Amino acid sequence: MPITKDDVLKIAELARLELTPEESESFTVQLDAILGYIDKLDELDTREVAPMSHSTTASGDTEYSRRDDVARPSLGQQSAVANAPDSEAGYFKVPKVIGN
């Protein structure tokens, strides 16, 4: 099922993104190409491929699947809410949903 410009505009609305007409056209083409590639992958015969539960190999090679747990500075409240549609004092403001 091809992606339409209306699909892209709906996704942008849900994500609260404002797209220019050029961006919406570009994303329509790009998303349609991605889904076309996924459809192509669905054509592969995977009956003989064992399902994986982990990204490691059977020999236990974890070099590429794990990283060191290193503490890093946090994002910070002001940066975290910088693109929020509504915030106050570093917190997200959301509509009241309980007790309406």
Q: What does pTM read for this prediction?
A: 0.49
pLDDT value at residue 30: 96
Task: Give the model confidence (pLDDT) of 90-99 as tens digits.
Answer: 889 988 888 7
Query: Is beta strand 91-92 parallel, antiparallel or unpaired with respect to 87-88?
Result: antiparallel
CATH class for the domain made up of 5-42: mainly alpha
What's the longest Cα–Cα distance across the chain? 57
Q: What is the pLDDT of residues 25-84, one digit of tens each?
A: 999 999 999 999 999 988 999 889 888 776 666 666 556 556 677 899 998 888 889 999
Domain spans in the chain, listed from the N-terminal domain onward: 5-42
pLDDT of residue 55: 64
